[in-house]
Amino acid sequence: MGRSYYVERLTHELMHGAWALIEEVESLGAWPRRLKPAFPRCVLKSCGPQTGCIDSGKDVIVGVNAFASPEEPMIPVLDIDNARCVNRNLNSLAS
């Protein structure tokens, strides 16, 4: 029973954190033109390190980069240049 409470608590914290971000975005107006410039940069910068840790295997995602089933066919994955995407998004916000 104690573990169920722990999972419920984590879910509750995640929901409230996500809702706070949604309210912040809504209070600033339409995305991306009215969004304050520091917010998207912060969000984009926070995604990069996590993606790098998953790609390098430092962070384990079961079934993706660890313990993948050999019987399942490989799904083609688009190779994306993260730095180019971040720069393009930041440049579009600046204009």
Residues 49 and 94 in one domain: yes
Residues 21 and 46 in one domain: no
Residues 95 and 74 in one domain: yes
Residues 17 and 43 in one domain: no
Instruction: Tell me how far CA of residue 27 lies from CA of 18, 34, 35, 46, in angstroms.
Output: 14, 10, 9, 21
Per-residue pLDDT of the chain (95 residues; tens, 9 = 90+): 567 888 888 899 999 988 988 887 777 665 555 555 666 666 666 666 667 777 777 888 787 778 777 777 777 877 888 888 888 878 777 76
Residues 39 and 69 in one domain: yes
Residues 16 and 52 in one domain: no
pLDDT for the residue numbered 44: 60
Which domain covers residue 50, as residue numbers? 32-95
Residues 47 and 19 in one domain: no
Residues 7 and 21 in one domain: yes
Crossing angle for the helix pair 82-94 and 38-56, to the nearest 10 degrees: 170
Nearest CA to 85 among 33, 50, 44, 25?
44
Nearest CA to 18 among 7, 28, 10?
10
Residues 56 and 91 in one domain: yes
This prediction's pTM: 0.35
pLDDT for the residue numbered 61: 78
Q: How many domains does the chain have?
A: 2
Q: What span, in angstroms and rounded, lies between the C-alpha atoms of 51 and 35?
A: 24
